[in-house]
Amino acid sequence: MTADTCRALVARLRWRGVRLIVDSEGLEARGPSFALKDDVMVELRARKAELLALLAAEPEVAGPEALLEQLTERGAVFEVLGPRDLLWFAPPGVSTPAIAAAVATLKPELVSLLRRQLRANAADRGRRE
């Protein structure tokens, strides 16, 4: 399978609502049961090494939903700071924000996902305090 064929497979899965998550145990497919039928799972298992290589080299192929979910699960913290709506991203295990980006420069679908995550983070902090 070529990289282009892998990209096409990932795009087809994304269109069906499937997110491919790369974690310490390998590759995980998350999505609606109608999209993860046996034939799809067989294809994912058969192409696992190629998909892992593609997603390691080009993580953006997985889409903003999968990337955000993956980063959040690994302990990344997202916060909007200040009146200019700057987004600070603290990588997992790091207490100091490492990357700042103006939200306006991000893709709209990623901005909405990040804002939902920020609201969830704030609600979670409120429950713990």
Residue 111 is encoded by which pair of tokens? 């901005």
Residue 99 is encoded by which pair of tokens? 């990357």
**Which overall architecture, per CATH, does domain 3-63 show?**
Orthogonal Bundle (1.10)
Residue 39 has pLDDT above 60, yes or no: yes
43-56 burial: b if 16+ Cβ within 10 Å, else e: ebeebeeebeebbe
Give the 3-state secondary structure of residue 90. strand
Domains of the chain, by residue range, sit at: 3-63, 75-128
Highest mean pLDDT among 12-21, 42-51, 93-102: 42-51
Residue 43: the pLDDT is 92
Q: Name the pTM for this structure.
A: 0.56
